[in-house]
Amino acid sequence: MWDTLIVQPFTNVLLMITMLVKNFGVAIILFTILIKLITYPLTARQMKSSQAMQDMQKSPRYLKMQEKYKDNKEKLAEEQMKLYKELGVSPFGSCLPMLIQLPVIFGLYQSIMRAMASTPLELVKLERMVYPFLDSTKILPIQNRFLWMDLGQPERLMVAGIGIPVLTILVVLSTVVQTRVMQPPSEGGNDQAAAMTNSMTMTMPILMGVMAYQFSAGLALYFVVSNLTTVAQYAAMGKTDWSRIFPWIKSKPKVSKPSIVIPDLPDDEEEDEPEIVEKVIKPSARAAAKRQRPKLKK
Amino acid sequence: MNKKYLRSLLMVLLAGLLLASCAMGPRAESTPGISAGENQIFLSYLNYVYKIDPTNGIAAWHFPEKSNVKQVFYAPALIDGESIYVGDFANDFLKINVSGTPTVNWTFTDAKGWYQGKAAKGGDLIIVPNADRNIYAIDVNNNLIWTHQGDFAYISEPLIVDEMVIVSSQDHKVIFLNKKDGTTIREIDLGGAVIAAPFYDPTTDSIFVGSLANEFVRISRQSGEIVWRYDDNGNLGSVWAEPIMVEGQLIFNDKTGKIISLSPETGLENWRMNAGGTMLAGLALIEDKGFVVALEDGTVTLYDLNQQAIWSRIVSGNVYNTPVVTDSLVLVGAIKGDNLVYAFDFQGQPVWTFKPEK
């Protein structure tokens, strides 16, 4: 099912591009960009949702809530959920598009691996995946040579007898750039989550580098192109803060309006009143807030 | 749940997956490599080369003693007296003394790619195909004599005839090399990848080989001329395995399960039969008995030359490699089944099975 619906069509498109451009390396680059373009609406939605969440988390009301219920996690969670409801922001808003994209990303990865069949058994399996209208005799096996690389083998550029893993270096650098531009601003956010995100920012490039060093160059090429395309998409949406990567570039003050308008709580609700009293005597406070429920900016 | 937590959770999961994949070693799927000599059977599979006792199917030893995730063996070992030559997926080609406890005599480390095809020996020269697009010629003392570079990974066993090395190439060619220095004598384009090893018939002094271009050809060894082509009027499937020669008949199979007997001289059809299933493995000859057919679905059948089935057995798993015949056994390698190797006697009785210990 997975193979028929995802991997097989992807593999055939990849093979078609390879036939067209007559170069598997170029085909991987074009195919990765193509998939990134197709999934761009989802990426954009994810970015918007993520931005809305960040705006909310920087709002005075949210911060006050954090401070107020810092010793009562349950109450804090409850209040957070109420706020999400009021603002129409879903905590899963940025995860859902990402989850939809995951099969596409895995399919893309698997199709590249399948196309680089390196054993007779893998070649048999690849031959079976080729649609009848493509002449497998002419396509298979794929010529894995691209620039100095054999895309089916881990890449090393031999310079004076030393194998330099150029693609691995590019993978690490592009992953650093990608994770940094995607990293949400830490101010106002949850410290623990920010710390985890920071640690991921450190560990992801290393992990990707280890993968690129050990696995075939074709996969490393895909990593590089995918990372760079993601950065380009962020840049196209104006979400890239280059000062995070290049410290000599001054960070531009944000002129964009927040994606959501978060009303502050009425003063009376900020007071530390017994909960029971709040619920019984002032039911209108929440209703008032509901009436001025903000809408997501388009 | 906080969005950042979710994202972090996903990233941690992803990191876990990446770490797990890093510990897996080379990412390639292949089949068990079986080779048999006098009273010894060797099996290359995953992290070990096993020496199997032909009488009971028990592994006498495995090499290396302690596995290394990066060292993966799929290429069948070349047996040479008390030594074997075998390459791995860590790009090393080893000569191992197997008379007692296995000891490495030497390791050839010049190659940059995986070893998948069996090596061939002619005199003191070992001819080794490698996935780095090179054919290496090494002497028995591990001196590199020559290298021939092609366009694609070499994955099939080279053929040595007199002073000629003949190799199948995935770039649609059969390449004839000078055994002394590796220079190209000629290249014959067959229009499709050639996965099967070339087969030599001394009577006609010809090379017979099939290709993924759905064709089977006879090539004159001396002139390189394609003497005849057989494509069953456009109905032949791709050919993945070498033929056998028996009683003046050249018998081969295509992927669809067609088994065809041709006259090696003329390429005219003697007879044909259908094995009844997909067939990537080649035919295995049992002298005076017939030939063994192994279908992908695990059906193993011995046919006589009148195409009558003598016995048929089903093994668990999928069969992609040509069965190996010893002086008294038929060895069938399978993947995704209960066992890795199934041994039958020539009457089709199961003798033993082999499954590596976990």
pLDDT digits (tens, 9 = 90+) for A188-243: 555 565 666 677 777 888 888 888 888 888 889 999 999 999 888 888 877 677 77
- Report, in angstroms and rounded to the nearest whole number, the Rg of chain B calculated over CA atoms: 21
A96 to chain B, any CB pair closer than 8 A? The answer is: no
Calculate how close chain B gets to A93, using CA atoms only, in Å: 8
* A298 assigned to some structural domain: no
Contact criterion met (CB below 8 Å) for A109 and B18? no
Q: How far apart are CA A277 and CA B231, in angstroms?
A: 91
Chain B environment of A156 (Cβ under 8 Å): 112
The alpha carbon of A83 is separated from its chain's Cα centroid by a whole number of angstroms, namely: 25
Which part of chain B is CATH 2.40.128.630?
Answer: 275-358
Calculate how close chain A gets to B76, using CA atoms only, in Å: 14
- Please list the ranges in chain A whose pLDDT falls under 70: 91, 93-95, 97-98, 183-197, 239, 249-298
What is the three-class DSSP state of B292?
Answer: strand
Q: Is pLDDT at B357 greater than 90 in this prediction?
A: no
pLDDT of residue B19: 52
Buried/exposed code over B16-27 (b: 16+ C-beta within 10 A; e: otherwise) = eebeeeeeebbe
What is the Cβ-side half-sphere exposure of residue B208, based on CA atoms within 13 angstroms?
25
A50 to chain B, any CB pair closer than 8 A? The answer is: yes
Q: How far apart are CA A184 and CA A194, in angstroms?
A: 8
Question: Beta-carbon neighbour count of residue A238 at 10 Å?
Answer: 9
For CA atoms B60, B66, B68, B71, give the dihedral sign.
negative
Please answer yes or no on whether A98 and B18 come within 8 Å at the CB atom: no
pLDDT of residue A44: 81
**Count helices and strands in chain B by DSSP H and E runs:** 1, 32
What mean pLDDT is reported for chain B? 93
Q: How far apart are CA B27 and CA A215, in angstroms?
A: 7
* A297 assigned to some structural domain: no
∠A98-A223-B6 over CA atoms, to 5°? 25
Closest CA to B322 of B287, B280, B353, B289: B280
Q: Is pLDDT at B27 greater than 50 in this prediction?
A: yes
Give me the residue from B3, B153, B240 closest to A118, CB to CB.
B153
Q: How far apart are CA B181 and CA B125, in angstroms?
A: 11
Closest CA to B187 of B166, B160, B210: B166
Q: How far apart are CA B294 and CA B312, in angstroms?
A: 10
How buried is A186 (Cβ within 10 angstroms: 0-12 exposed, 13-18 middle, 19+ buried)?
A: middle
Q: Which CATH class is domain B29-121?
A: mainly beta
B74 to chain A, any CB pair closer than 8 A? The answer is: yes
- Report, in angstroms and rounded to the nearest whole number, the Rg of chain A calculated over CA atoms: 25
Residue B220, H or E segment: strand B215-220
pLDDT digits (tens, 9 = 90+) for B73-107: 999 999 999 999 999 999 999 999 999 999 999 99
Could you tell me what percent of chain B has a pLDDT over 90?
88
Please answer yes or no on whether A215 and B133 come within 8 Å at the CB atom: no
B-interface mutation test, from A47, A83, A106, A124, most B Cβ less than 10 A away: A124
Please answer yes or no on whether A153 and B191 come within 8 Å at the CB atom: no
Q: How far apart are CA B219 and CA B189, in angstroms?
A: 11
Please answer yes or no on whether A118 and B152 come within 8 Å at the CB atom: no
Chain A environment of B8 (Cβ under 8 Å): 193, 196-197, 200
Average pLDDT over residues B319-343: 97
∠B330-B294-B121 over CA atoms, to 5°? 60
Q: How far apart are CA B192 and CA A123, in angstroms?
A: 13
* A296 assigned to some structural domain: no
Residue B15 binned pLDDT confidence (cut-offs 50, 70, 90): low
Sheet holding B134-139, edge to edge: B120-122, B125-129, B134-139, B144-149
pLDDT of residue B265: 97
Q: Which long-range contacts (CB under 8 A, 24 or more apart) does A77-86 make?
A: A80/B2, A82/A286, A83/A56, A86/A289, A86/A290, A86/A293
Chain B environment of A94 (Cβ under 8 Å): 3, 7
Closest-CA residue of chain A to B27: A215
Question: Beta-carbon neighbour count of residue A189 at 10 Å?
Answer: 20
**Topology (CATH level 3) of domain B275-358:** Lipocalin (2.40.128)
Predicted complex ipTM? 0.86
The residues, any chain, with a CB within 8 Å of residue B246's CB and separated by 6 or more, are B285, B291, B305
Residue B66 binned pLDDT confidence (cut-offs 50, 70, 90): very high
Please answer yes or no on whether B214 and A137 come within 8 Å at the CB atom: yes
Q: How far apart are CA A155 and CA A212, in angstroms?
A: 8
Query: What domain range is A27 assigned to?
Result: 2-291
pLDDT of residue A281: 39
What is the three-class DSSP state of A118?
Answer: coil
Q: Residue B335 has what DSSP assignment?
A: B
How many contacts does A have with B, using Cβ atoms within 8 A? 125
A79 to chain B, any CB pair closer than 8 A? The answer is: no
pLDDT of residue A215: 82
∠A277-A281-A283 over CA atoms, to 5°? 110
Tell me which residues of chain B, numbers 288 to 317, contact chain A at a CB-CB cutoff of 8 Å.
none
pLDDT digits (tens, 9 = 90+) for B279-318: 999 999 999 999 999 999 999 999 999 999 999 999 999 9
Pair of tokens at residue B34 = 């079986």
Please answer yes or no on whether A141 and B4 come within 8 Å at the CB atom: no
Which part of chain B is CATH 2.40.10.480?
Answer: 29-121
Chain A environment of B193 (Cβ under 8 Å): 123, 140-141
pLDDT digits (tens, 9 = 90+) for B156-200: 999 999 999 999 999 999 999 999 999 999 999 999 999 999 999
Question: Beta-carbon neighbour count of residue A249 at 10 Å?
Answer: 11
Q: Is pLDDT at B2 greater than 70 in this prediction?
A: no
A-interface mutation test, from B4, B70, B173, most A Cβ less than 10 A away: B4
Give me the residue from B112, B212, B213 closest to A153, CB to CB.
B112
B27 to chain A, any CB pair closer than 8 A? The answer is: yes
Contact criterion met (CB below 8 Å) for B343 and B350? yes
Contact criterion met (CB below 8 Å) for B87 and B124? no
Q: Could you tell me where the beta strands, DSSP code E, fall in A160-260? A: 162-164
Calculate how close chain B gets to A5, using CA atoms only, in Å: 22
B-interface mutation test, from A24, A74, A203, A207, most B Cβ less than 10 A away: A207
How buried is A244 (Cβ within 10 angstroms: 0-12 exposed, 13-18 middle, 19+ buried)?
A: middle
pLDDT of residue A169: 95
Find the distance separating the first CA and the last CA of chain B, reported in whole Å. 42
Sheet holding B329-333, edge to edge: B324-325, B329-333, B341-345, B350-354
pLDDT of residue A276: 41
Q: Is pLDDT at B116 greater than 60 in this prediction?
A: yes
On whether the pTM is more than 0.90, the answer is: no
Buried/exposed code over A106-124 (b: 16+ C-beta within 10 A; e: otherwise) = ebbbbbbbbbbbbbbbbbb
A-interface mutation test, from B3, B22, B133, B171, most A Cβ less than 10 A away: B3
Please answer yes or no on whether A137 and B5 come within 8 Å at the CB atom: no
Chain B environment of A98 (Cβ under 8 Å): 10
Contact criterion met (CB below 8 Å) for A110 and A103? no
Give me the residue from B6, B112, B170 closest to A95, CB to CB.
B6
Please answer yes or no on whether A150 and B113 come within 8 Å at the CB atom: yes
B23-27, B243-247, B268-272, B326-330: range with lowest mean pLDDT: B23-27
Q: How far apart are CA A96 and CA B84, in angstroms?
A: 56
What is the greatest pairwise CA distance in chain A?
82
Tell me which residues of chain A, numbers 233 to 292, contact chain B at a CB-CB cutoff of 8 Å.
none
Pair of tokens at residue B62 = 């495995």
Please answer yes or no on whether B152 and A137 come within 8 Å at the CB atom: no
B69 to chain A, any CB pair closer than 8 A? The answer is: no
Please answer yes or no on whether A145 and B151 come within 8 Å at the CB atom: yes
Calculate how close chain B gets to A197, using CA atoms only, in Å: 6
pLDDT of residue B196: 96
Calculate how close chain B gets to A46, using CA atoms only, in Å: 11
